[in-house]
Amino acid sequence: MSAGAEAPGPAPHVELRRVSKRYGAVTVIADLSLAVEKGSFTALLGPSGCGKSTLLRMIAGLEEITTGQCFIGGLDVTETPPAKRRVAMVFQSYALYPHMTVRENIAFSLSIAGASRKVQNARALEVAHILQLEALLDRRPAELSGGQRQRVAIGRALVREPEVFLFDEPLSNLDAKLRVQMRVELAKLHAALKTTMIYVTHDQIEAMTLADRIVVLDRGNIAQVGSPLELYNHPANKFVAAFIGSPGMNFFEVKLDRIEAGAAQVVAPGGGVARARLRAGAADGQLELGVRPEHLAILPFERADAPLKGKIAIVERLGNATLVHVDTPAGLLVVEAKGDVAAAPGAEVGLALDEAQTHLFGADGAAL
């Protein structure tokens, strides 16, 4: 999958070519191009209002494309009605018809297509078997738990044997435990079916764990496309760096001192000197340094080589790790330390940065 111009690879399964979506004077998607490879699991990730659901609905045909083209399987489907695009969609609300049983819900598309009752039953049973819904076939949605409803919604998509599965935040109505469980089930389903899946979410953990490619969207534009680790380790800009990772990356302004051997020496607020990785090879003036909590380390206050010093404000014990919030001249920085680290609020500490894992951003937010 790629954004915009990229080296020629295999023909994309789903392709958006310079698409825009406007509602009157408001532009939600502006001149966006995206290609999704066959069999991939692609997540459209971004904050609320970034246009990710609109993009998915444009692929589904539920939203008209103002300008540009949409291709599925090499065919231009820009003007094709949703039912003929060979896509199936799982909605956030599940959209299960309350007056129908699980069997009828799953077989609805077949019944609309005029399939015989026998075929409908056989296919519904087949899908129910895959999703372990056999025992629930004669129940109505109101008699199901959230997870079961979610599985029925997936079953309804599955029965159509689509070329592309579209998921619109399908797990956001589930509780945290069930969400983890459903995530695993979705991953298994994708591994078994190997069908192209496009998944909209605002939850970066969902995107990171499920997708093999993530498209990060920012105000209707693609901020970056890449594998989960690519986005995590090499964010193209501050927006992606801030959006990916939990707890989020720490940012603070630094002044460039000098550049040597592919690294920048910067002066942090408070006067401490730090070295930061520099990929672009050029930088000047006021920069912003980003460092993830796990790439900060707590040092004794007396250590002269600590580029930042501060006082512990809050300690959050998570068991496997401890989040230490340190009040420094650069602002409140979060450090992810070992679960049993000795840290107490009020204690004065020094902070060390892992140079290889730092990120420098220019005034426009682009990674340097």
Partner 1 sequence: MSAGVEQLSARIDAPVARRLARLRRFDRTGLIITIGTLALAIVWAFPLYWAVITTFKHEYETVKPGLRLWPEQFTFENYAQVLVHTKIGIWYVNSIITSTAVTVLVIIMAAGAGYAISQLEFPGRRVFWWMILASFMVPIPALIVTHYIVLSQLKLINTLAGVVGPQLIAPVTVIIYKQFFDSVPKDFREAAVIDGANDWQLLFRIYLPMNWGITTALAIITFIGAWNLFLWPFLAVSSEDKMNITVGITQVHDAFGVHYARDLAVAMLAALPVALVYLMFQRRVTQAIMLSAGIKG
* Binding region for partner 1 (CB under 8 A): 60-62, 81-83, 87-89, 91-93, 95, 97-99, 108-109, 112-113, 156, 160
Can you tell me the distance from the alpha carbon of 221 to that of 217, in angstroms, rounded to the nearest whole number? Answer: 6
Name 96's Cβ contacts closer than 8 Å, sequence gap at least 6: 105, 141, 149, 152, 153, 156
Smaller CB separation from partner 1, 87 or 324: 87
Smaller CB separation from partner 1, 112 or 344: 112
Smaller CB separation from partner 1, 3 or 107: 107
Q: How far is the CB of 23 from partner 1 (least distance, A)?
A: 15
Q: How far is the CB of 12 from partner 1 (least distance, A)?
A: 21
Q: How far is the CB of 185 from partner 1 (least distance, A)?
A: 20
Compute the chain's Rg from CA coordinates. Answer: 24
Output helix, strand, coil percentages for the chain, rounded to the nearest 5.
25, 35, 35
Q: How far is the CB of 154 from partner 1 (least distance, A)?
A: 12
Q: How far is the CB of 123 from partner 1 (least distance, A)?
A: 13
DSSP state of 249: P
Smaller CB separation from partner 1, 60 or 306: 60
Q: How far is the CB of 8 from partner 1 (least distance, A)?
A: 32
Smaller CB separation from partner 1, 20 or 92: 92
* Sequence letter at residue 55: L
Structural tokens at position 239: 């927006």
Smaller CB separation from partner 1, 96 or 268: 96
Q: How far is the CB of 115 from partner 1 (least distance, A)?
A: 11
By CB atoms closer than 10 A (0-12, 13-18, 19+), residue 190 is buried
Give ∠ CA 327-331-337 in degrees, rounded to 5: 55
Q: How far is the CB of 202 from partner 1 (least distance, A)?
A: 18
Smaller CB separation from partner 1, 109 or 150: 109
Helices assigned H by DSSP within the chain: 52-60, 102-106, 108-112, 117-130, 146-158, 176-193, 204-210, 228-233, 238-243
Can you tell me the distance from the alpha carbon of 156 to that of 94, in angstroms, rounded to the nearest whole number? Answer: 10
By CB atoms closer than 10 A (0-12, 13-18, 19+), residue 50 is buried
Structural tokens at position 165: 């599965």
Smaller CB separation from partner 1, 81 or 285: 81
